[in-house]
Structure 1
């Protein structure tokens, strides 16, 4: 008998037109900062005023799909998602049973009619490069639309890896300028949110800004990784800071619906999303700060100090920056609930796109499944699942109980007969064994969990490093490593 209580419908991907995306893999960048004396060494004559950077109103620009290209970075400067990032970049981490984090950002571009998307990748980029290349190829972009992966490279004038986001964009400008664009939209590829970038572009052009920074005004607790913006009543950025010296204050929407008459600056959180005029970007990278490595901590503060017109665009929707394991876990848990507090994977007007896997339907036998999301190709036999995300090709044995967890599944179906030289692997197949109990855990791909295993964080530890044993504990959440082997009878 199969009892499906409160189950969500299976996730369905769709394919529509995409734009050109650049994914820049900034994981493991060299973060040694150059000393840029941007606050005191710039003479007044070199300040760039808004009048010097005047652009046409938005209605005079070509269509967005012909004038804006997106650049997506695959990893943040200081990832706290280890061990999920041990063998992959942040943007390639699976989420919600069938997607990758990068899919949410690419889908925003598609829904916003941005047809040119670049992906610059570096370390741990194999799975990300493969996913992007296969998922978004041949989607009918037209003659000039594409999603293109640009891997880190060395040349006669550029030896070594990309040293940061600014260095990566500077070294790839010759390729990024292949098409006549007016702005670049710079995006982290590992955040979860829905945004109509056309509204951001419209506000940028109407304000005749040099740079527009998307800022979150909905969340009260922020990770300072992307910095804080001090803005005036017109949402013009007065100062960019990496540390918040006072509590955040609500500002009014950059769209004009929540204007403020206050003269005191307000502090809001940058989302790491930048819309930059191409001429402005070239001057910043090649003339003003040719040694800068990082856009967030060097180029953007430098632009503010130079007197460029830097605007804030207030975003009050759901946004999760995946700042740590706890945030990633909660984002997955929200997909199992029927509330509107999280990311909506079922939005027909703005669907999320991903790779088509052509897997068989999930087989469920004598199981009880409650408030869970189950991916394709799973085999669930006589188990109980509650409040859990079950990834593709997962196998769960008779008598197993899985609660409030994220099971990422498997990359392949295990052959019937494996190499007998490795008896440890042969004895424990990929998946979750019989009579095993798992609660509040993340089980990475291809893990082999034996029979009668208990993974419940029995000591209520908040942190623990047991990678040699196949798991770690982060914020009270047990994380089983990719391809880990947990022997029969283990208690964690």
Structure 2
């Protein structure tokens, strides 16, 4: 038993929302709490004692947290980020000046007290595997708190790579079956949203469903890449369809009659599933051992054999990165001060990521407005408006950046000198003197020469110039990673 003696006259708001009062002098502590605020905590009566039982602290859990493990995927067929995923998986794409896309999903798990996570990776996974290992290797305390990266591999029994998310899980069922959990939470690791997974877990347990699917209330007819669900008044999923496919679920007239008797609504699936472990093993090993994809094969199959499939509705902000435009707008959320749909500066629900230990950004005689600036940047006499500037970015004199995303650099100039000599280029990493960048995405380690104009001068909506290290998507110019743009170029 630990006893803290804290004197004061009233509860401090920085701790009050984190604990639940049991008796006048006793509170219950959740698994995660910002202990640093205890120094300023105030209580209602002088000499009031806050009694913290370590056994209560260790044993108190949210609904189903200890019996649930999350399975994260770093890439998916619904995600199309063009050149940004040429050398990395979608989950590893930089976001909001300092994060990666997968950080949002991992942060959701941490805030929802999901402490067992498996990340299944395959396509262009080097960057993602490195980030997850470095950022979350010391996550939590004890053997029950972990994020384990499971990379695709070939075995004597199976010489092929993953054929889809269902196939990936099937390959590692031998490991997942040994996990001491009753349910698996399956998550695409490249979407941006803020969700407390305890809500869908509680719904899943209350309804005793075999499978629960998270569905988007705001999208009833637009397929977001995971199909459209037909849901009755009891939130039971009766049918489903996917763009380009018709009548995915051939389950007979009974479901059609049920839909006539009950008021049915269609919702877009978010690709988030809670599945009982025994149901997952049965459907992947016995019922549909050939199925490779959850949305188009496993879920329709589960309904067809009578499994209890429910839909849990979500009405918050959600961006699944189906396009460059969606990715661009998601980044722009970090620059907003009003009408914010996703708050990167949320006090009670922050994003976690790798601690890079970079120096503070240095700003010299520059004008910056409505922008997000990462650590370790050097900004010299430039003007930046409505832009996201990633860590390690160097911007020279008289540069103008408007409505753009600069992903920054992993290399300092001193480290780049040997590479510059090898490629016989004198262009420094970053944005050269006198350049103008408007509505563009510039990937990491790019070297933009002097007086370069990246402005989409011909107002092209779609264009391919991969041989020149840039493309145009949705009217946005994308400069590829490590590209070299010569002086006086106009794009």
TM-score bin (small chain): 0.7 to 0.9
- CA distance in structure 1 between the partners assigned to 2:282 and 2:234 by the alignment: 26
Offset at residue 244 of structure 1 (A): 9.1
Deviation string 1:360-402 (CA, Å, 9 cap, x unpaired) is 0000001000000000000000000000000000000100000
| 1:218 pairs with 2:204 | no
Offset at residue 221 of structure 1 (A): 7.6
Please name the residue that 2:306 is paired with.
Answer: 307
Please name the residue that 2:278 is paired with.
Answer: 279
- CA distance in structure 1 between the partners assigned to 2:261 and 2:334 by the alignment: 39
* Deviating more after overlay: 78-87 vs 333-342: 333-342
| 1:407 pairs with 2:421 | no
Offset at residue 83 of structure 1 (A): 0.4
Offset at residue 237 of structure 1 (A): 0.4
Please name the residue that 1:236 is paired with.
Answer: 236
- CA distance in structure 1 between the partners assigned to 2:87 and 2:229 by the alignment: 34
Deviation string 1:216-254 (CA, Å, 9 cap, x unpaired) is 1134784441101000111110001113999xxxxxxxx
- CA distance in structure 2 between the partners assigned to 1:188 and 1:122 by the alignment: 13
- CA distance in structure 2 between the partners assigned to 1:314 and 1:420 by the alignment: 51
RMSD: 2.2
Please show how residues 97-108 of structure 1 align to structure 2 within 5 Å.
97-108=97-108
Offset at residue 292 of structure 1 (A): 0.9
Please name the residue that 1:175 is paired with.
Answer: 175
| 1:444 pairs with 2:438 | no
* Deviating more after overlay: 326-335 vs 359-368: 326-335
Which structure would you say has the larger Rg? 2
Deviation string 1:443-492 (CA, Å, 9 cap, x unpaired) is 00000000000000000001111111111000100000000000000001
- DSSP 3-state at the match of 1:148: strand
Please name the residue that 1:453 is paired with.
Answer: 452
- CA distance in structure 1 between the partners assigned to 2:189 and 2:145 by the alignment: 19
- DSSP 3-state at the match of 1:128: helix
CA contact (8 A) 1:325 1:474 kept: yes
- CA distance in structure 1 between the partners assigned to 2:262 and 2:244 by the alignment: 19
Relative distance call for 1:264 and 1:434 in structure 2 (3 A) is same
Deviation string 1:180-223 (CA, Å, 9 cap, x unpaired) is 21100000000000111011000011111110000011347844
- CA distance in structure 2 between the partners assigned to 1:237 and 1:456 by the alignment: 47
Relative distance call for 1:317 and 1:425 in structure 2 (3 A) is farther
- DSSP 3-state at the match of 1:328: helix
Please name the residue that 2:194 is paired with.
Answer: 194
Deviation string 1:4-31 (CA, Å, 9 cap, x unpaired) is xxxxxxxxxxxx989xxxxxxxxxxxxx
Instruction: Give structure 1 stretches of 5+ with no counterpart.
Output: 1-15, 19-60, 247-259
Please name the residue that 2:361 is paired with.
Answer: 362
Offset at residue 424 of structure 1 (A): 5.5
- DSSP 3-state at the match of 2:174: helix
- DSSP 3-state at the match of 2:203: helix
Relative distance call for 1:376 and 1:278 in structure 2 (3 A) is same
- CA distance in structure 2 between the partners assigned to 1:420 and 1:211 by the alignment: 52
Relative distance call for 1:457 and 1:362 in structure 2 (3 A) is same
| 1:165 pairs with 2:165 | yes
Please name the residue that 2:321 is paired with.
Answer: 322
Question: Which TM-score applies when normalising by structure 1?
Answer: 0.82
Please name the residue that 1:38 is paired with.
Answer: none
- CA distance in structure 1 between the partners assigned to 2:217 and 2:159 by the alignment: 41
* Deviating more after overlay: 96-105 vs 288-297: 288-297
Q: Which has the higher contact order (CA 8 A, sep 6+)?
A: 1
- CA distance in structure 2 between the partners assigned to 1:303 and 1:421 by the alignment: 56
Relative distance call for 1:416 and 1:264 in structure 2 (3 A) is closer
- DSSP 3-state at the match of 1:335: helix
- CA distance in structure 1 between the partners assigned to 2:352 and 2:479 by the alignment: 28
Relative distance call for 1:219 and 1:297 in structure 2 (3 A) is closer
- CA distance in structure 1 between the partners assigned to 2:487 and 2:301 by the alignment: 57
- CA distance in structure 2 between the partners assigned to 1:209 and 1:343 by the alignment: 30
Aligned residues: 422
Instruction: Give structure 2 stretches of 5+ with no counterpart.
Output: 1-29, 33-60, 247-258
CA contact (8 A) 1:391 1:408 kept: yes
Offset at residue 333 of structure 1 (A): 1.1
- CA distance in structure 2 between the partners assigned to 1:129 and 1:463 by the alignment: 32
CA contact (8 A) 1:217 1:269 kept: yes
- DSSP 3-state at the match of 2:132: helix
- CA distance in structure 2 between the partners assigned to 1:302 and 1:342 by the alignment: 35
* Deviating more after overlay: 324-333 vs 212-221: 212-221
- DSSP 3-state at the match of 1:239: strand
